């Protein structure tokens, strides 16, 4: 549970106190608000105060029983271990594992806490237990697992288990193969060339990033800079002035998830007409190299996350379009008169949005 406010722009103690006051005014939302407050306190290194909030939420005398007490206990355990209460943290972690929660978050929190404190065997067991509990029976539990992508909440468990097994030097199994497949699928949806999961979880890389040896840190920084250089080179290539196109199903999903964008897209028909008219205006003004990029909701959400922004912010849309174009995802406009229309209608462009009546 992390705060919604970027860490660089907030007084964490003040924000925690504001959230506590708000929780008092809106008891029906107290659990969410107090978990946010506890996260701010952890970031401010006021971990004892964070523990007090976790205890308040799971107290038998709480006005409203928590919706997810196991999640709160997992957060409490991870917090306790960070400021020296290892024995209590371990006991709570065992309790969390013993309840076999049916959602992924508690499993992820306690497994990553064990991993962070070099309890790799226990972390591996916990990641594995969580996956065994949450993935459908038989899915990815043996060689020959199906290719279908598992539920999104299980992804951190797959990735965490893969990472720990790399650190332990274990041979890949079916779940490791599934983790790599999911990682590649997510990268492709975000328009990125995937870095192999084995490389991301290379023990030498992980240890270097946690090392206090300046030479090891410098070597890893140089490696990251080389990767960034390749990325910047790709972005520096010429690309079209691109307009963003949402297919009908994607636009429906986008507006359902982010109603604040409805003003930008009053209807799918209006959206398509706006694309064509915008491109015609740009062409009439002499703008060369025009194109259309097609958005998807997962790709857009991943882009928003990479920018530290809300997907509901309309100002993010042109940035997203520009980034897709920079990645070579733009289709040139206009299509030839006999070519299919860019909107996907199946009609020739001249018979669809390329007709003289569309302007």
Tell me the pLDDT tens digit for each residue of 272-296: 999 999 999 988 988 888 999 999 9
Q: How is residue 289 written in tokens? A: 């190299």
The structural domains of the chain, ordered by start, are: 7-184 (1.25.40.10), 241-351 (no CATH)
Tell how strand 290-294 and strand 331-332 pair up: antiparallel
Instruction: Report whether 250 contacts 268 (CB < 8 A).
Output: no
Looking at residue 125, what is its pLDDT?
A: 96
Tell how strand 290-294 and strand 241-245 pair up: parallel
Distance from C-alpha of 68 to C-alpha of 144, rounded to nearest angstrom = 35
pLDDT bin (cut points 50, 70, 90) of residue 323 is confident
8-state DSSP, 264? T
Instruction: Report whether 180 contacts 140 (CB < 8 A).
Output: no
Predicted TM-score (pTM) of the model is 0.58
CA angle 54, 58, 63 (to 5 degrees): 115
Among 118-127, 259-268, 331-340, which is the least confidently predicted range? 331-340
- Please compute the mean of the pLDDT values over residues 206-223 and round it to a whole number: 64
pLDDT bin (cut points 50, 70, 90) of residue 243 is very high
Q: Which residues contact 186 (CB under 8 A, 6 or more apart)?
A: 155, 298, 302
Distance from C-alpha of 59 to C-alpha of 64, rounded to nearest angstrom = 10
- Please compute the mean of the pLDDT values over residues 327-338 and round it to a whole number: 83
pLDDT at residue 1 above 70? no
Nearest to 72 by CA among 48, 38, 46: 38
Q: What is the per-residue pLDDT across 28-69, written as a single tens digit (0 to 9) for each?
A: 888 888 998 999 999 999 999 999 999 999 988 777 788 889
Q: What is the per-residue pLDDT across 15-27, written as a single tens digit (0 to 9) for each?
A: 899 989 998 888 8
Q: How is residue 143 written in tokens? A: 């060689």
Q: What is the per-residue pLDDT across 111-127, written as a single tens digit (0 to 9) for each?
A: 999 998 989 999 999 99
- End-to-end distance of the chain based on CA atoms, in angstroms? 49
Among 92-106, 128-142, 183-197, 223-237, which is the least confidently predicted range? 223-237
């Amino acid at each position: 549970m992390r705060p919604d406010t970027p860490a660089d722009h907030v007084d964490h103690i003040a924000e925690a106190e504001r959230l506590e006051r708000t929780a008092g005014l809106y008891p029906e939302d107290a659990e969410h608000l107090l978990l946010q407050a506890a996260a701010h306190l952890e970031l401010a290194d006021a971990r004892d105060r964070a523990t007090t909030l976790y205890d308040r939420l799971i107290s038998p005398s709480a006005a409203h029983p928590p919706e997810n007490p196991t999640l709160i206990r997992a957060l409490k355990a991870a917090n306790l271990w960070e400021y020296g209460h290892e024995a209590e943290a371990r006991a709570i972690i065992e309790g969390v594992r013993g309840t076999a929660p049916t959602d992924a978050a508690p499993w992820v929190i306690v497994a990553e806490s064990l991993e962070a404190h070099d309890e790799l065997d226990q972390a591996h067991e916990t990641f594995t237990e969580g996956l065994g509990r949450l993935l459908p029976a038989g899915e990815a539990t043996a060689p020959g697992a199906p290719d279908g992508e598992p539920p999104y909440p299980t992804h951190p468990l797959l990735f965490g288990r893969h990472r720990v097994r790399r650190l332990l030097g274990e041979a890949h199994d079916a779940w490791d193969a599934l983790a790599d497949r999911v990682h590649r699928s997510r990268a492709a949806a975000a328009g990125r060339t995937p870095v192999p999961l084995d490389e991301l979880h290379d023990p030498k890389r992980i240890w270097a990033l946690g090392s206090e040896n300046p030479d090891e840190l410098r070597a890893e920084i140089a490696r990251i800079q080389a990767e960034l250089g390749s990325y910047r080179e790709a972005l520096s290539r010429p690309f079209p002035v691109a307009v963003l196109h949402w297919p009908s199903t994607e636009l429906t999903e986008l507006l359902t998830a982010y109603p604040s964008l409805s003003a930008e897209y009053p209807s799918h028909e209006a959206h398509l007409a706006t694309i064509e008219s915008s491109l015609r205006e740009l062409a009439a003004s002499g703008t060369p190299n025009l194109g259309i990029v097609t958005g998807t909701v997962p790709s857009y959400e991943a882009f928003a996350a990479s920018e530290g922004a809300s997907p509901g912010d309309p100002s993010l849309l042109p940035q997203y379009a520009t980034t897709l174009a920079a990645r070579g995802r733009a289709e040139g406009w206009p299509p030839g008169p006999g070519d299919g229309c860019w909107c996907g209608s199946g009609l020739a462009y001249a018979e669809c949005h390329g007709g003289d009546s569309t302007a």
